[in-house]
């Protein structure tokens, strides 16, 4: 579905994690701009740069004592131990839904910071998906293996209170949306998807269903970035009563 140029794009779940939710804006055509994985080095960053970027996901009062994970050729690893239960990292585009045209976009960098409950649920999913990517599997096989693992209950259960911060103005969620807006994300069972009033006219809450991880993700835009500066276009945060529907890529 195409998004109105006057609407902010709906953010959608990344592989059931931030999970990495990538806002999608209108597309001129259906062709995939990134049909396959780029060379691995294009997805990597110098460790110090990635640590600094990961910390921008949440206010300094949270991220300074958080565990920081960075992507290496072997997968995500802890670069800085944490003491407050939060885990900050930078997701890559392969955390997006499998039918997202930017799934293999090597320029995508999505800083986020999970609370303890969010990390216990989301980080194992991210590690599994990233491992499949680094093993060189094609997208279809990655999707199939993730769904099989979920059906076999190989992932931790979703806990009450699972959430994450995405408040970095330095992120690049995708080519069209850039850093989008500062926001929080809350993970809840699918059964609760209709109980939050999300996506209704005037509601400040977005909702999206992640079919891979069988979870509803609620996104709440906030007024400030993690560095304390104000959002420059707060009027775009939240659904508006127009006929247009934000673009979404369901079905990983």
Q: Given this model, what pLDDT does residue 216 score?
A: 87
Q: How far apart are CA 157 and CA 62, in angstroms?
A: 24
Tell me the pairing of strands 215-221 and 183-189.
Answer: antiparallel
Q: What are phi and psi of 54, to 5 degrees?
A: -60, -40
Domain map (residue ranges) of the chain: 11-236
What whole-number percentage of the chain has pLDDT above 90? 61
pLDDT digits (tens, 9 = 90+) for 48-72: 999 999 999 999 999 999 999 999 9
Q: Given this model, what pLDDT does residue 97 score?
A: 78
For residues 161 and 184, is the Cβ–Cβ distance under 8 A? no
Q: Given this model, what pLDDT does residue 233 score?
A: 67
46 Cβ partners below 8 Å, 6+ apart?
Answer: none
184, HSE (Cβ side, Cα atoms, 13 Å):
12
Edge-first strand order for the sheet with 67-72 is 75-80, 67-72, 87-91, 110-114, 163-166, 183-189, 215-221, 206-210
pLDDT digits (tens, 9 = 90+) for 75-123: 999 999 999 999 999 999 998 878 788 999 999 999 999 999 999 999 9
The pLDDT of residue 2 is above 60: no
The pLDDT of residue 175 is above 90: no
């Amino acid at each position: 579905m195409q998004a109105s140029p006057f609407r902010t794009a709906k953010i959608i779940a990344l592989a059931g994690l931030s999970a990495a939710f990538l806002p999608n804006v209108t597309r001129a055509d259906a062709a995939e701009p990134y049909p396959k994985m780029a060379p691995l080095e294009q997805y990597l960053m110098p460790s110090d740069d990635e640590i600094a970027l990961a910390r921008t996901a949440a206010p300094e009062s949270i991220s300074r004592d958080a565990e920081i994970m960075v992507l290496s050729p072997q997968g995500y690893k802890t670069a800085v131990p944490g003491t407050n239960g939060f885990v900050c990292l930078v997701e890559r585009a392969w955390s997006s839904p499998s039918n997202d045209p930017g799934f293999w976009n090597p320029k995508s960098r999505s800083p986020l910071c999970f609370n303890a409950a969010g990390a216990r649920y989301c980080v194992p999913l991210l590690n599994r998906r990233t491992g499949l990517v680094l093993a060189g599997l094609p997208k279809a096989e990655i999707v199939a293996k993730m769904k099989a693992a979920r059906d076999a209950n190989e992932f931790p259960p979703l806990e009450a209170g699972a959430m994450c911060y995405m408040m970095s103005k330095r992120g690049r969620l995708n080519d069209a949306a850039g850093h989008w807006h500062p926001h929080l994300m809350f993970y809840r069972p699918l059964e609760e998807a209709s109980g939050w009033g999300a996506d209704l006219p005037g509601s400040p809450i977005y909702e999206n269903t992640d079919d891979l991880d069988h979870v509803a993700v609620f996104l709440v835009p906030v007024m400030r970035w993690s560095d304390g500066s104000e959002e420059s276009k707060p009027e775009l945060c939240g659904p508006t009563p127009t006929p247009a529907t934000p673009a979404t890529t369901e079905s990983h």
